[in-house]
Amino acid sequence: MCNTQTQTTFSISISATTTSPEKQPPSPPPHVQLTIDPPITPNKDTLKLIKSNIILMIARSHAGYFRITLSLCMQTLLLKTLGDPPENSHAYRKMLGAIPGVAFLLMWLLSLIILGTFTIIFILKCALLSHMVKHEYLNHIGINYLFAPSISWLLLLQSSPFLALKADYRLILYWVFVLPILILDVKIYGQWFTTKKRFLSTMANPASQLSVIGNFVGAYAAAGIGWREIAVIMFSLGFIHYVVLFVTLYQRLSGNSCMPPMLRPVMCLFFGAPSMASLAWGLISGTFDSSSKMLFHLSIFLFLSLASRPILFKKSMKKFNMVWWAYSYPLTLLALASIEYAQEMKTNVAHLLMIVLSGLSVFVSFILMVYTALNTNILSLREGVDDNDDSDMIFMTLSPNTTNSKTPTC
């Protein structure tokens, strides 16, 4: 209903006297009418519309959007690592060190802005729509992306250019970001062997490897601070569950171990998890030793196994969607591990492998940023988007009609 507007009218009479040789009848004074409209106030319907749009945006957001921040934060860490070569590094490594520092700083600021925005939206969802967050927690795919915000913040903390000035705050922030990972560890890993309906054999899927990556990132960050014991604890939790999860996924004990065809890019986490493990153990032990090398070689093998089967990703590549970001961050982890491997081996072959993987990682991330910028409708959480739209496949798996249904087999 539109508000009835009232008008205030002022009448101003202006008298004018003229002199004339002949006496004329007096003319009526001119009359000027001024109309003043009342101040415009927001319509109640407009306020309701704005509020409903905000609630809709918060409702349609989910932890799966943090795939973007995972990629950006890992790419930031890659640029920082490449831009700071050791003194005794190979000539190829020094060549990559010519990357301008402003590129790293811009990437770090971009990651901070996007991650901060997504985090605020997700916190609002936890506060206003907690039942929907619970729905993500109960989903066998969506629950794994609850680790993504903490992983992103830990990676951004590791790549921060202000660590030397903010050492004390760094310790506090570490625990702020690691505690959610530990809480989810207790809940998820405990359910894998105690809750009948949520056994690992029925809940395991490639996205489950995000949980172990979260532990490896926590160990990596703790080792960077100097907390070796905490790093060993986080690494042991991640590694033992990674071994169990890897064997479960290899055996395909249940059809639920697979994912819908449109979500198959998430299978790149197969080589992302051991890559992160090799980085974490290398920082804990102080050198990229044989254990780290074995994990890196496993990552290379799994990467080649997936790269040699492009038909596996054919359906997911028909139309751009947010799941494509799952190609980026595992590849960046592999590139980071290759840098440490090349620094340890000091051979031309190892450094050529580092250049190829680093260049591929930067190229894939750049292409994804361009595609996302050209398809902003995928990021716009707008009304009228079908829950089964390919542009939001994680949201599709969270819809009530698919949560309890059988997941398609690969």
Share of the chain above pLDDT 90, in %: 43
- Residue 8 or 141, more confident: 141
DSSP letter for each residue of 146-193: GGHHHHHHHHHHHT-TTTTT-HHHHHHHHHHHHHHHHHHHHHHHHHHH
- pLDDT, mean of residues 382-406: 41
Give the type of residue at 67.
Answer: R
- pLDDT, mean of residues 289-293: 94
Structure tokens at 296: 């890196």
CA dihedral 163, 169, 170, 172 (to 10 degrees): 180
What DSSP character marks residue 24?
Answer: -
Lowest mean pLDDT among 184-198, 246-260, 264-278: 246-260
- Residue 407 or 194, more confident: 194
Residue 247 pLDDT > 50: yes
Domains of the chain (ranges; CATH) run: 48-402 (1.50.10.150)
d(CA 399, CA 407): 13
pLDDT of residue 382: 42
CB of 381 closer than 8 Å to CB of 60: yes
The CA–CA distances, whole Å, from 238 to 28, 35, 144, 167, 242 equal 96, 74, 14, 26, 6
Residue 384 pLDDT > 70: no
d(CA 274, CA 301): 11
pTM: 0.80
CB of 168 closer than 8 Å to CB of 222: no
d(CA 176, CA 179): 6
Q: Which of 39-53, 89-103, 108-122 has the highest mean pLDDT?
A: 108-122
Of 244, 232, 143, the closest CA to residue 193 belongs to 244
pLDDT of residue 34: 57
CB of 298 closer than 8 Å to CB of 253: no
